[in-house]
């Protein structure tokens, strides 16, 4: 399908319902997910081997919420053992779902909505707002806690709320929650998103599938995880069409059914492991990696002068070794909505670019504040400079604001061990990658953030030869 370049408007700085979260609030007590404070990492050696991808973090949580749309059981396969899943289990159980997780398989059954008002959760992510549509459809009212999630800038939810309002929801924002009613039920509507927000597109879809009539979402997000959600909804009985440019049309149906659905592999994990191979100058086969999900990243690998090999099992990544010299070239990256270069990929790639010859630039156009990790890289010896300016000739919606949204990295620089503090999920992964590249023993503090999105990362990296210990 051809996809138009997204339309983007300046971010609305007036809406910021996000509360700051303490580490304790997001700590995961679920024993499926190991959480403790620090990783001790001895780096400086190449990593080799195979690593299998877990199911996509950014698909599973939305699919768990989608199971609320039916009173029949839903089975999800390839469910990752991550903190974000545990948070949604708590949400669903408060609502009245029975959730049984056995290994990578989750069975969720919500015969009745026992409680449509969930005021508090012990930990938070940005997902509960997506439950408003399903709860309105089945119970006529909904109340969910204000969002948590990574600290990447203001992260407003204006587009979510506007889409729900167009579909007939009346929403009140209290100090701690979003409270919604749909007096006359939800109805189809035309929703023109000012930005192809992943969450707002998902929210509109989850509300529209059981609404009366036809909904059209234009300038919609089309990320692979969102397409996977569409496939699950379609199997449940929803009628959803995709059309260029970025249009999703939904014909509301009266009832949805149970489903068994296998979640796509996590493309963000894939990129993290690819960057580990390139950063440490090793070779890693990322099992389950899907070429179609990684097209822009693979082009970046080629431009750096590195190597990838697509096989039936997955994709193997390494540096090209010419006459014993495995060098990388500096490149320029601009993040964008899918199918552009994904924002979650720039952080792991930055660690690799510290080893590339020349000056690389990263232009972040999705989040205002996604370079906090530069501090840790520079502590290790990188030369990474962040700036409020757009790179020349590449103006973006953050250009006139006061946002540190671009970076230059001079390379190559030798990395040496340092003490790092995890700031958010992906920057935590940069800390791990850089620590594995750096000579000496690094300490990465606050690893529960990493556990929120990467399944048993320490155990899996040890299988590649990494010296990483959880204390």
Strands 141-145 and 177-181, bridge-based pairing: antiparallel
Of positions 116, 197, 355, 406, contacts ligand EPU by CB under 6 A: 197
Q: Is 336 a catalytic residue?
A: no
Q: Which helix (H) or strand (E) holds 205?
A: helix 198-208
When CB distances to ligand EPU are compared, the closest residue is 199
- Using the rule CB under 6 A, is 155 a contact of ligand EPU? yes
Binding segment toward ligand EPU, per CB under 6 A, in 276-284, 341-349, 383-391, 408-416 = 341-349
d(CA 42, CA 461): 12
Of positions 30, 150, 364, 376, contacts ligand EPU by CB under 6 A: 150
d(CA 142, CA 136): 6
Q: Where are the alpha helices (DSSP H) in 372-445?
A: 374-379, 425-437
What is the smallest separation between the CB atom of 63 and ligand EPU, expressed in angstroms?
Answer: 11
Q: What is the CA radius of gyration of the chain?
A: 22
Q: What are phi and psi of 318, to 5 degrees?
A: -160, 170
- Using the rule CB under 6 A, is 372 a contact of ligand EPU? no
What is the smallest separation between the CB atom of 191 and ligand EPU, expressed in angstroms?
Answer: 12
- Using the rule CB under 6 A, is 199 a contact of ligand EPU? yes
Of positions 82, 198, 209, 248, contacts ligand EPU by CB under 6 A: 198
For 132-152, give the secondary structure using H, E and C: HHHHHHHHCEEEEECCCCCCC
d(CA 174, CA 63): 27
Binding segment toward ligand EPU, per CB under 6 A, in 22-30, 198-206, 240-248, 277-285 = 198-206
Cα separations in angstroms, 10 against 37, 367, 392, 395, 397: 38, 11, 19, 12, 5
Nearer of residues 158 and 357 to ligand EPU, judged by Cβ: 158
Nearer of residues 147 and 418 to ligand EPU, judged by Cβ: 147
Q: Of 76, 81, 86, which Cα lies nearest the Cα of 108?
A: 76
Strands 283-287 and 48-52, bridge-based pairing: parallel
- Using the rule CB under 6 A, is 267 a contact of ligand EPU? no
Total of chain residues touching ligand EPU, rule CB under 6 A: 27
Strands laid side by side in the 214-218 sheet: 190-192, 214-218, 247-251, 239-243
What is the smallest separation between the CB atom of 223 and ligand EPU, expressed in angstroms?
Answer: 6
What is the smallest separation between the CB atom of 8 and ligand EPU, expressed in angstroms?
Answer: 9
Binding segment toward ligand EPU, per CB under 6 A, in 100-108, 156-164, 241-249, 381-389 = 156-164
Residues 425 to 444: which contact ligand EPU by CB under 6 A? 425-426
Nearer of residues 61 and 215 to ligand EPU, judged by Cβ: 61
**Segments of 233-313 assigned E as strands:** 239-243, 247-251, 259-262, 283-287, 306-310
Residues 451 to 470: which contact ligand EPU by CB under 6 A? 453
Residues 16-35 as x/- pattern, contact with ligand EPU by CB under 6 A: --------------------
d(CA 63, CA 263): 9
d(CA 328, CA 304): 5
Q: Which of 30, 84, 150, 266 is catalytic?
A: 150
- Using the rule CB under 6 A, is 200 a contact of ligand EPU? yes
Binding segment toward ligand EPU, per CB under 6 A, in 192-200, 208-216, 356-364, 460-468 = 192-200
Q: Of 43, 295, 13, which Cα lies nearest the Cα of 156?
A: 13
Distance of CA 89 to the CA centre of its chain: 18
Of positions 160, 166, 261, 267, contacts ligand EPU by CB under 6 A: 160
Of positions 47, 74, 159, 182, contacts ligand EPU by CB under 6 A: 159
Nearer of residues 147 and 415 to ligand EPU, judged by Cβ: 147
Nearer of residues 116 and 125 to ligand EPU, judged by Cβ: 125
Q: Of 119, 199, 197, 134, which Cα lies nearest the Cα of 167?
A: 134
d(CA 189, CA 252): 11
- Using the rule CB under 6 A, is 343 a contact of ligand EPU? yes
Interface with ligand EPU (CB under 6 A): 11, 57-58, 126, 150, 155-160, 195, 197-200, 221, 223, 268, 342-344, 366-367, 425-426, 453
**What residues are labeled active site?**
150
């Amino acid at each position: 399908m051809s996809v138009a370049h997204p339309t983007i408007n300046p971010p609305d700085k007036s809406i910021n319902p996000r509360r700051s979260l303490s580490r304790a609030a997001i700590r995961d007590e679920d024993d499926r997910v190991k959480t403790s404070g620090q990783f001790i990492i001895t780096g400086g050696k190449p990593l080799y081997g195979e690593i299998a991808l877990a199911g996509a973090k950014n698909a599973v949580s939305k699919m768990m919420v989608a199971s609320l749309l039916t009173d029949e059981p839903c089975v999800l396969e390839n469910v990752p053992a991550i903190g974000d899943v545990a948070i949604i289990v708590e949400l669903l159980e408060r609502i009245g779902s029975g959730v049984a997780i056995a290994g990578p398989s989750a069975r969720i059954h919500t015969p009745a909505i026992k409680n449509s008002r969930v005021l508090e959760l012990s930990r938070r992510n940005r997902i509960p707002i997506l439950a408003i549509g399903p709860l309105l459809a089945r119970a006529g009212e909904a109340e969910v806690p204000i969002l948590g999630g990574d600290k990447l800038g203001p992260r407003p939810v204006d587009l979510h709320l506007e889409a729900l309002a167009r579909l007939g929801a009346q929403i009140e924002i209290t100090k701690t929650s979003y409270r919604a009613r749909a007096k006359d039920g939800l109805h189809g509507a035309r929703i023109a998103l000012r930005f192809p927000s992943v969450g707002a597109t998902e929210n509109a879809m989850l509300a529209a599938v059981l609404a009366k009539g036809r909904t059209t979402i234009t300038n919609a997000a089309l990320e692979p995880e969102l397409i996977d959600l569409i496939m699950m909804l379609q199997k449940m009985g929803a009628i959803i069409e995709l059309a260029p440019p970025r249009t999703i049309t939904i014909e509301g149906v009266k009832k949805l059914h149970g489903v068994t659905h296998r979640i796509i592999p996590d493309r963000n994990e894939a990129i993290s492991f690819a960057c580990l191979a390139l950063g440490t100058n090793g070779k890693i086969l990322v099992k389950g990696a899907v070429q179609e999900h990684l097209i822009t990243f693979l082009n970046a690998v080629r431009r750096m002068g590195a190597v990838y090999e697509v096989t039936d099992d997955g994709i193997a990544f390494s540096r090209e070794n010419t006459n014993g010299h495995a060098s990388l070239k500096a490149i320029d990256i601009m993040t964008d909505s899918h199918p552009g270069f994904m924002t979650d990929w720039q952080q792991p790639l930055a660690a690799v670019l510290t080893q590339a010859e020349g000056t690389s630039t990263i232009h972040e156009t999705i989040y205002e504040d996604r370079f906090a990790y530069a501090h840790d890289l520079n502590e290790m010896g990188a030369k990474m400079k962040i700036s409020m300016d757009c790179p020349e000739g590449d103006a973006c919606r953050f250009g006139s604001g006061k946002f540190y949204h671009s970076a230059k990295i001079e390379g190559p620089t030798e990395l040496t061990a340092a003490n790092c503090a995890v700031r958010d999920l992906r920057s935590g992964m940069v800390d791990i990658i850089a620590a594995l590249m750096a000579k000496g023993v690094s300490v990465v503090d606050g690893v529960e953030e990493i556990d929120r999105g990467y399944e048993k990362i320490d155990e899996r990296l040890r299988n590649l030869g990494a010296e990483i210990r959880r204390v």
